[in-house]
Amino acid sequence: MEQKIARIKELIKILNEASKAYYQEDREIMSNFEYDALYDELSALEKETKIVYANSPTMRVGYELLSELQKEHHSSPMLSLDKTKEVENLKEWLKDQEGLLSWKLDGLTIVLTYENGELIKAVTRGNGEVGEVITNNAKTFVNLPKRISYEGRMILRGEAVIKYSDFEKINAEIEDVESKYKNPRNLCSGSVRQLNNEITAKRNVHFFAFNLVEAGEMDFHNSIENQFKFLKEQGFEVVEYKRVSADTIEEVVKQFADRIASNDFPSDGLVLVYDNIAYGKSLGRTAKFPRDSIAFKWADEIAKTKLVEVEWSPSRTGLINPVAIFDPVELEGTTVSRASLHNISILEGLQLGIGDTITVYKANMIIPQVAENLTKSGNLPIPEHCPACGGNTRIQDVNGVRSLYCTNEFCSAKKIKLFSHFVSRDAMNIDGLSEMTLNKFIEQKFLNELYDLFQLEQYEEKILALEGFGKKSYDKLIESINKARNTTLPRFIYSLGIPNIGLSNAKMLCKKYQYELETLKEAKEEELVTIDGIGEIIAKSIVDYFENEHNEMVIQKLLQELSIEKPEEDAQVEQKMEGLTFVITGSVEHFKNRNEVKAVIEQFGGKVTGSVTGKTNYLINNDNTSNSSKNKKAKELGIPIITEEEFMELFHISL
């Protein structure tokens, strides 16, 4: 018994760490397959021993609340669903009842409230009892009706999701491999819970209703399907469903399964609910699960194969990702031969070695993953040299996850990404240089250092001889390069690819040092850390970069090619908000959006932060009587809460 209790505690610790990493920190320390197996083991042990600890993942649902969004208690707990991987269990569960079988979408559950036909509130599921208010963000969902014909009080639940096609487009625009989103669910969660709903609007979030909680005195004749039809009449997209019985459900499950590969919305299974509302309610619920519905998770098709090699793929940041290459196998109707291993921690956990017999599967029937290593030889060497440049490698432990990095700052793999960053829109903004084109130019030795971009005309004949290049595209490229010769200092600083320096930091640094590059280059760490927003890590990155002799040479040669424009307007604007820190919350009326308010504050020398602290001077909120967390904090600290109009009057701002 003691051993079983010890194992329960061990499993709780492992699973909670994995959940925290996946849902809160957007990183993966184990595969879905491994998580499910450990979860099932824990659940079985709890049933056997009748011991369930309060922090067990079998007792908790949802993510922890970490953002600054306003929190709100749900009127009734939002429970998770019991699950099965066996169709026979679904038949037994249904018995003589009819049910509705629908996609179990993999996004973020949202509760919507409408009154008098207007959307008045949207709250995330949160931890099942307390959610986050995201009403303004929900109003940007591409298919969500803001107004409906039904004028009574109505509450419904649904899933906010991002399509695979949109997910891939967004990831394609992110150059840094480490910064790419891991999956649509993480992207959706971050998008829905933004403090700035402009970002949400750009992410093409869709909403699919799956449960009508309340609709006044409406009579749905005891049928969930009638509720779905009602929601459709109100303009909602309802999660796709099919009516089933015990006799038909096996065939319908197969129909759903056949469509997974072509389905543009992420799903992680199916949901079966009794159509008979009264019958479902009569069954009650357990502490964690309702009894009127059940989830069906795909029984992963697992194939046994042999690990042939591990490919190490370097990126611009120096991160080297391990990829498993194995004998080709058929999975879910397609041939697969490779799967990402994500990091050293996962690779070591599998105890991999070349020639090992492994099992592989497709997570949610889509993404190839290594499930288990059956032989566990553990003899796989971690490369000591980068496969791209031959430089030394180093294993770094970040928050308990071990990853491999190339230490050579002039690594050729980094070079492609460095050039790609340099020509990107927010940097030098040079059109016509995709990574593929840059790679060709680097291979042809047209490009070695960043300043070589401005000398490409000497290779005109050779460039025109390359596949895909004609005179028109060449002329357009040279025109774009010449246009980029006139730039600003913030763009130039950002384009250099200094670690931890984004465009906003670059703007702030340039302003601090009066747009004098030499003054910025000579700044010391102890001086930089006194600047708001610059900590020790960023300060060290700046100093290390400018102290490097090679970097200094590159900068000087670039400056010979460029004309750096010096802003005149900043010097003429009275810095009447200098030294003041503002927080902006809620909707705005006189400005287009909160970003426009922020731009005005920064123009006059002020600073805008996301949270109210003792350093905050003013909280701008048009609803200064609300009980939002920011208002409460400001009142606790005695910080003035001013409306937009009061802000404009106080600082003599006119639009």
Tokens 């309802």 belong to 238
CA dihedral 552, 557, 558, 560 (to 10 degrees): 130
> Tokens at residue 223, please?
């049928």
> H/E/C letters for each residue in 100-152?
EEEEEECCEEEEEEEECCEEEEEEECCCCCEEEECHHHHCCCCCCCCECCCCC
Q: Where are the beta strands (DSSP E) in 231-291?
A: 241-244, 267-274
Residue keyed to tokens 């005195």: 217
Burial of 417 (0-12, 13-18, 19+ CB in 10 A): buried
Q: 207, 203, 204: which is closest to 231 by C-alpha? A: 207
Rg (CA), the chain: 28
Mapped onto helix, strand or coil, the DSSP state of residue 24 is helix
- Beta bridge partners, 326, equal 307
C-alpha separations of 81 from 62, 131, 240, 289, 476 in Å: 12, 18, 18, 5, 57
Assess whether 104 carries a catalytic annotation.
yes
Please give the angle made by the CA atoms of 294, 298 and 301, to the nearest 5 degrees. Answer: 160
Strand pairing category for 130-132 and 71-73:
antiparallel
CB 511 within 8 A of CB 570: yes
271 within 8 A of 102, measured Cβ to Cβ: yes
Q: Tokens 């020790």 belong to which residue?
A: 536
Q: Which of 47, 104, 163, 229 is labelled catalytic?
A: 104
The full 3-state SS of 153-201, as one line of letters, equals CEEEEEEEECCHHHHHHHHHCCCCHHHCCCCHHHHHHHHHCCCCHHHHH
Catalytic positions = 104
